[in-house]
Structure 1
Amino acid sequence: MNKKRKFLVISLIILFTVLSFSSGQIKRGGTLTIGVDQEVVGLDPNIVTAFSSFRRIDLLYNRLVKYDDKLNIVPDLAASWEIPDNLTYIFHLRKGVKFHNGRELTAEDVKYTLERILDPKTGSPGRSYIEPISSIEVVDKYTVKIKLSTPLASLLSGLASNNCAIVPKEEVEKYGNLQRNVVGTGPFKLAEWVPDNYMRLVRNPDYFEKGLPYLDEIIFRVIPEQTSLLAGLKAGALDMATINDGSVILQAKKDPNLVIMQKPGINVRTFGFNTMRKPFNDIRVRQAIALAIDRDEIVATAEFGMAMPSGPIPASVKKWAKNVKLLPFSRPNLKKAKELLTQAGYPDGFSFKIVCSPTYEGGIAVAQVIQNQLKKIGLKPELEVLEWGIYIDRWKKRDFDSMVELRGGDPDPDRFLYRILHSKGAVNNFLFKDEEVDKLLEEGRKLTKYEERKPIYDKLQVLISEKTPVIFLYVPYETQILKPYVKGFKQVGNGALYYLARTWIEK
Structure 2
Amino acid sequence: MRAISAKGGIGILLAGVLVVGAIGGWLVLRSDSGNEEPIVIGVTDRAESLDPGASYSAGSWDLYSNLFQGLLTLSSGSDTPVPDAAESCEFTDNAYQVYRCTLREGLRFSSGREVSPEDVKHSIERIQAMAQRAANEAEDESIPEADRFAYSGPISLVQGVEAVRTDGQDVIFELAEPDVTFPYVLAGGAGSIVDREEYPLEAPREDGEAVGSGPYVLTDYAEVDEETGTPGFAELSPNPDYRGAVDGPRQPVTIRYYPGPAELKEAWEKREIDVNAGQMAAGDIVEVDRNDAGIRYEETTGFSVRMLVNGVSGTGPTSDKAVRQALAGLLDRDAISSQVRLDTVEPAYSLIPVGVAGHGTPYYDLYSESGPEAVRSSLRNEGYELPVPLTFGYAGQVHAEETAFIDQMLEADGIFDITVEEFQSFGDIFAALQAGDIDSYFVGWRPDFSDPDTYTAPLLLEDSVLSHGYANARIAQLVAETKGQPQRGSTTELFREIQAIAAEDAVVVPIWQDWQFTVAVREITGLTNLRDAGGIFRLWELDRL
Shorter-chain TM range is: 0.7 to 0.9
Amino acid at match of 1:185: S
Spell out the pairing of 1:76-155 with structure 2 (5 A cutoff): 76-85=84-93, 86-119=96-129, 120-121=131-132, 123=151, 125-141=153-169, 143-155=170-182
Q: Summarize deviations over 1:208-251 as a string: whole Å, max 9, x none.
A: 14995444321222322424323323332110122322211112
**CA distance, structure 1, for counterparts of residue 154 and residue 455 of structure 2:** 11
Q: 305, 315, 318: which one pairs with 1:268? A: 305
How far did residue 325 of structure 1 move?
6.0
Contact 2:157–2:190 (8 Å) recurs in 1:
no
**CA distance, structure 2, for counterparts of residue 435 and residue 210 of structure 1:** 40
Which one has a larger percent helix, Structure 1 or Structure 2? 1
Q: Summarize deviations over 1:158-191 as a string: whole Å, max 9, x none.
A: 2222122111111013994234221111111111
Q: Does residue 1:169 correspond to 2:196, yes or no?
A: yes
Match of 1:186 in 2: 214
**CA distance, structure 1, for counterparts of residue 245 and residue 72 of structure 2:** 18
Match of 1:22 in 2: none
Instruction: Tell me: CA distance 1:172–1:211, structure 2 relative to 1, closer, same or farther (3 Å).
Output: closer
Q: Summarize deviations over 1:425-467 as a string: whole Å, max 9, x none.
A: 3x14111122222332233323333355322211111010000
Amino acid at match of 1:129: L
Q: Does residue 1:503 correspond to 2:514, yes or no?
A: no
Match of 1:13 in 2: none
**CA distance, structure 2, for counterparts of residue 492 and residue 485 of structure 1:** 19
Contact 1:63–1:166 (8 Å) recurs in 2:
yes
Contact 1:129–1:419 (8 Å) recurs in 2:
yes
**CA distance, structure 2, for counterparts of residue 212 and residue 252 of structure 1:** 32
Amino acid at match of 1:269: R
Q: 263, 268, 274: which one pairs with 1:239? A: 274
How far did residue 45 of structure 1 move?
0.7
Spell out the pairing of 1:349-360 with structure 2 (5 A cutoff): 349-360=387-398
Structure showing greater Rg: 1
Amino acid at match of 1:344: E
Spell out the pairing of 1:303-382 with structure 2 (5 A cutoff): 303-324=341-362, 326-329=364-367, 332-360=370-398, 363-378=399-414, 379-382=416-419
Amino acid at match of 1:163: A
**CA distance, structure 1, for counterparts of residue 120 and residue 435 of structure 2:** 31
**CA distance, structure 2, for counterparts of residue 185 and residue 176 of structure 1:** 21
Q: 253, 265, 274: which one pairs with 1:230? A: 265
Q: 35, 46, 59: which one pairs with 1:52? A: 59
Match of 1:199 in 2: 234
Contact 2:337–2:346 (8 Å) recurs in 1:
yes
Q: 413, 416, 421: which one pairs with 2:455? A: 416
**CA distance, structure 2, for counterparts of residue 373 and residue 435 of structure 1:** 33
How far did residue 371 of structure 1 move?
0.9
How far did residue 353 of structure 1 move?
1.4
Q: Does residue 1:281 correspond to 2:319, yes or no?
A: yes
Q: Summarize deviations over 1:75-123 as a string: whole Å, max 9, x none.
A: 3222322223222222122232211101121211111112222333364
Q: Summarize deviations over 1:184-206 as a string: whole Å, max 9, x none.
A: 11111111122213222222111
Amino acid at match of 1:152: D
Q: Summarize deviations over 1:22-52 as a string: whole Å, max 9, x none.
A: xxxxxx9431111122532111111102212
**CA distance, structure 2, for counterparts of residue 202 and residue 343 of structure 1:** 63
Contact 1:291–1:336 (8 Å) recurs in 2:
no
How far did residue 394 of structure 1 move?
3.3
**CA distance, structure 1, for counterparts of residue 98 and residue 378 of structure 2:** 49
What secondary structure is seen at the aligned counterpart in 2 of 1:280? helix
How far did residue 367 of structure 1 move?
1.4
How many residues matched? Answer: 475
What secondary structure is seen at the aligned counterpart in 1 of 2:318? coil
Unaligned runs of 5+ in 2: 1-34, 134-150, 225-231
Instruction: Tell me: CA distance 1:333–1:210, structure 2 relative to 1, closer, same or farther (3 Å).
Output: closer
**CA distance, structure 1, for counterparts of residue 128 and residue 249 of structure 2:** 36
Contact 2:530–2:541 (8 Å) recurs in 1:
no
Q: TM-score, normalised by structure 2?
A: 0.80
Amino acid at match of 1:500: L
Spell out the pairing of 1:362-441 with structure 2 (5 A cutoff): 363-378=399-414, 379-388=416-425, 391-392=428-429, 394=431, 397=434, 399=436, 400-409=438-447, 410-425=449-464, 427-441=465-479
What secondary structure is seen at the aligned counterpart in 1 of 2:106? coil
Match of 1:448 in 2: 486
Q: TM-score, normalised by structure 1?
A: 0.86
Contact 1:308–1:474 (8 Å) recurs in 2:
yes
Amino acid at match of 1:271: L
Q: 482, 489, 501: which one pairs with 1:463? A: 501
Amino acid at match of 2:487: K
How far did residue 365 of structure 1 move?
2.8
**CA distance, structure 2, for counterparts of residue 175 and residue 29 of structure 1:** 39
Contact 1:32–1:215 (8 Å) recurs in 2:
no
Report which stretch shifted further, 95-104 or 111-120: 111-120
Contact 2:109–2:213 (8 Å) recurs in 1:
yes
**CA distance, structure 2, for counterparts of residue 451 and residue 501 of structure 1:** 32
Could you tell me the percent identity over the aligned residues?
Answer: 20
Amino acid at match of 1:32: I
Contact 1:338–1:347 (8 Å) recurs in 2:
no
Report which stretch shifted further, 122-131 or 149-158: 122-131
How far did residue 295 of structure 1 move?
1.2
Amino acid at match of 2:316: K
Contact 2:311–2:318 (8 Å) recurs in 1:
yes
Amino acid at match of 1:467: D
How far did residue 332 of structure 1 move?
4.8
